[in-house]
Amino acid sequence: MPTPQDPHPADRTEHPRSADTSPAIARAFALLSNDWNGLILMALAKGPADSAQIRERVPGISSRMLTQRLQELTAIDLVTRDVRPGLSSRPRYALSPHGKAFLVPLAVLFLWAEDHLPASSSPADRPATTDP
């Protein structure tokens, strides 16, 4: 006899892989728990940019914080850094293939936040913090 399908699968709280058994989900949350990382990745989704262009796309971030976050995101291979010789030798940053793949869950999170979180809860809406 067939079992009835759950009419509200999104209401289920169980998941085949529990968060406490998956270090991968812990790493993903750690990545997003750092202020600005998600916003920087979304800014780079618009295309490669130098640090000044990224600051324009991520209002409120300081130059020092942006440099620190870009170094971290480059170290974990979500962002690439390219310096071309010539008149403008400013580094340009772009999403790596891993960074582009991360846009899928990030876009879903963005849509969920638009529908379910108050606007005042985003880092861009908070006053800029001073650098240590």
Provide the whole-model pTM: 0.71
Q: How confident is the model at residue 92, as a pLDDT? A: 95
Question: Tokens 């968060």 appear where?
Answer: 19
Q: How confident is the model at residue 132, as a pLDDT? A: 47
Q: Are 29 and 116 in contact (CB under 8 A)?
A: no
Instruction: Spell out the per-residue pLDDT of the chain, length 132, in tens.
Output: 544 554 544 554 555 555 566 898 888 889 989 889 999 999 999 999 999 999 999 999 999 999 999 999 999 999 999 988 876 778 999 999 999 999 999 899 889 999 999 877 555 555 555 444
Q: Are 79 and 101 in contact (CB under 8 A)?
A: no
Question: Tokens 């030798």 appear where?
Answer: 89
Q: Which helix (H) or strand (E) holds 74?
A: helix 63-75
Q: How confident is the model at residue 126, as a pLDDT? A: 53
Phi, psi dihedrals of residue 50, rounded to the nearest 5°: -90, 175
Which among 44, 51, 45, 57 is positioned nearest to 83, based on CA atoms? Answer: 51
Residues with Cβ within 8 Å of residue 50, at least 6 apart in sequence: 90, 91, 92, 93
Q: Are 10 and 60 in contact (CB under 8 A)?
A: no
